Amino acid sequence: MSGVGCMNNNREGSSLSTISNTLSAVNSKPRSHSINYVSSDYESLDYDHYESELTVREEKLNGYKTVVASNVIRWLIYFSIAICTAAVGIFIDTVIEYFCNWKFQSIRNCIDVKHSTVECLIIWILFTVIPTLVGCCVVLFMEPSAAGSGIPFVISYLNGIRIPRMTAVRCLLVKVISVVCVCIAGLGGGKEGPLIHIGAMVGGSVVEAWWKGFRNGPGRKVIGPLQNDRERRDMMAAGAAAGLSAAFGSPVGGTLMSLEEGTSFWSSSLMWKVFFCAAIAFPTYNAGKNVLFSNNTNPSESVHSKSIYFFGKFNENTIYFSYSEFPIFIIFGIFGGLLGALFVNINYHLSIFRMKHIISNRKKLMESVFVAVFVAIINLTSMILLNNCQTKLEISSSNVVQMYCPAGSYNEISSFWLRTQEESIRSLFHYPIEAYSVVPLLVYCVIYFILTELTVGLNMSAGLFLPSLLIGAAWGRIASIVIHYYSPGTIGVDPGKYALLGAAAQLGGIVRATISLTVVFIEATGNVQFLLPLMITLFTAKWTGDFFTDGIYEMQIKLSGVPLLVSEPPPLTSDITTEDFMSDTVCAIPHILMVGKLVDILNTTKHNGFPVVASKVCFCRTRNIEHKCYGLLKGFILRSQLNVILEHNLYLTPLHDENYCTKLELLRKSTYTCHDTQQFQRLKVDEDERGIVIDLRPYMNSAPYIVRLVST
């Protein structure tokens, strides 16, 4: 596939790729335009350096001091991204904690004190349906793009696809409200995935706040050059890492996740900044939570304590493994991979069904309410039907109901529904083997699997990190109980260890990340010793899963129609050229032309990027029309830049040292803010202006990427 390596870098991919070095007549090979329909909805980001006469002049006139100042400010911006992401994370946690306590308290009250099942059902339904309605309505009516975990969008954005409204502040707000609602309602969605998206959104918006604050002072020259897509992508990568770092207390894992998923544009200086950001976010978040929750936490309840380890500390002296357990780790991996592939496959068909049949907002809302009611009913029903009684452990006293059980014992399955996800995962990892029996675990595992399938794909912000971990931890624990039952003498059968491996296998089977997940698990458990078992399990889960389906994020990206290119061309494609799949109408613009002509071109085509050529005449090559000769390629210019040039009459004054700054700022702003608006707009121009000649050379990018025409 000639030059496909460059495609990812192409600015405004649709129109550039044909510009070979001569733009002369093209061969008559049949073409496959099958992917045109996807690429028309999305644009590529302008990740290349914008090099023009303007920027060269700016650099010369600003000098070295401004470069240094920009560097300092850049670090401060990264610092503020980390702080803001951590702050949003703390806010989300606080609100969830408050409402969940209220909810669980009310339910416990009506079951154990009032003994009224009907009242309880009503309360439960209210506590599920109201947040669901709120969370779904804000998404549907204010910001539909905030639905889902947002990680597929982050992946796409980091790899160069412009996702509309990705950095809008309203999207951020809606996302926060919606994720809080999902967690309060107790649906099968976590807050960790959305927190990554939120971190990325914070990263994408912070620089604008800096700009607004300092543009009138000396900061103008310094912050101005930081406002470009390249810097924004770096900051979003850092924000995403900060989000994961805060969510799981895992700075290195966050950095690696950002790297593993957004690897197209990685450099070691970027890694350094991303790590800095993740490293600041984690202690900030942790310190903030310690300050807020320190008074209402009972230090004896290790599961609820806000330790620095998200999964709770795994003690190396009590939990260990031997080499003879390796086959078990592999079996765990295979099982996790299979379950993960099943999950992805069901989710795929469910998504298709939703795309076909649940289209109107009314239906979407009804679907959410249905899921919410289903959650409340199945939770309560499972508690009534499965009346396993469990002797009260000291550690689990406050979060369970007695229901029909004798005094001093509690309804076992209630402990799952009356805890937040974090508490559940920690209890599954750390409670002794007798705390859970097989049947409730199995029921919980199956219900949660269904619940997560239903929730992922609703019009709310729900992640699937924690749900996957819970499902995996549940079946991992079941496995440990079964092994313990059939060979009670086996050493090393710790339920927590097996729950951890099950969680890793399940998450790995769904998400298919490996190295970053390994590190996240190590950082979240505080245990380096498990490196080997975790690696074996995650590797096997990934391989097994990949054998059957794509990972969940790739599947979602494909379904959403985002034209994300894979990093390597698929096999047996070396005879396909860029020409075969690019857009077949290329519009080139001469470097010197009249305003009228330019406006006509802009009004008759929908391209967002135009090659600038030396020829005097300009042609649009369209299908089935005789090919015309293009001139020599001079540079490349974006529609947004042309719009600015025409709107602000930049062409009237020649470029000099006094006005370059204003011009550059206008051009930069245009590319930078056009994310959230439709770019195409019909231009009007007075008849007497049509004759003025524009010279595009000072404004165009003079060093665009090009792909040669292979002519044998």
Strand 589-590 to 609-613 pairing: parallel
Q: Which is nearer to its own copies, 260 or 550 (CB)?
A: 260
Q: Which is nearer to its own copies, 176 or 235 (CB)?
A: 235
Closest CB 568 distance from its own copies, rounded Å: 6
Instruction: Tell me if 185 sits within 8 A of 194, measured CB to CB.
Output: no
Of 250, 270, 249, nearest to 259 by C-alpha is 270
* DSSP code string of 439-451: HHHHHHHHHHHHH
Q: Which is nearer to its own copies, 32 or 487 (CB)?
A: 32
| E-state strands within 392-495 | 409-411
Q: Which is nearer to its own copies, 573 or 662 (CB)?
A: 573
Instruction: Tell me if 373 sits within 8 A of 125, measured CB to CB.
Output: yes
In the chain, what is the straight-line distance between the N-terminal and C-terminal CA atoms, in Å?
Answer: 15
Query: Tokens in use for 66?
Result: 């401004």
Question: Residue 504: enclosing H or E segment and its boundaries?
Answer: helix 495-511
Closest CB 293 distance from its own copies, rounded Å: 17
Closest CB 11 distance from its own copies, rounded Å: 14
Q: Which is nearer to its own copies, 495 or 698 (CB)?
A: 698
**658 conformational bin, left if phi > 0, alpha if psi -120 to 50, beta if neither:** alpha
CA distances from 473 to 378, 412, 460 (A): 21, 16, 25
Rounded CA-CA distance 57/697 in Å is 13
How many residues does this entry show for the chain?
Answer: 712
CB within 8 Å of 641: residues ≥ 6 apart: 667, 670, 671, 699
Q: Which is nearer to its own copies, 318 or 678 (CB)?
A: 318
Q: Which is nearer to its own copies, 273 or 364 (CB)?
A: 273
Q: Which is nearer to its own copies, 51 or 689 (CB)?
A: 51
Q: Which is nearer to its own copies, 274 or 380 (CB)?
A: 274
Q: Dihedral of CA 472/468/541/520: which sign?
A: negative
Q: Which is nearer to its own copies, 546 or 584 (CB)?
A: 546
Taking residue 47's Cβ as centre, other Cβ atoms within 10 Å add up to 20
Question: Residue 694: enclosing H or E segment and its boundaries?
Answer: strand 693-695
Query: Tokens in use for 40?
Result: 């028309």
Question: Residue 613: enclosing H or E segment and its boundaries?
Answer: strand 609-613
Could you give the angle at which helices 515-525 and 229-248 cross, rounded to 10 degrees? 40
Query: Tokens in use for 89?
Result: 């994370």
Q: Which is nearer to its own copies, 211 or 705 (CB)?
A: 705
Q: Give the CA diameter of the chain.
A: 95
Rounded CA-CA distance 87/90 in Å is 5
Rounded CA-CA distance 43/680 in Å is 12
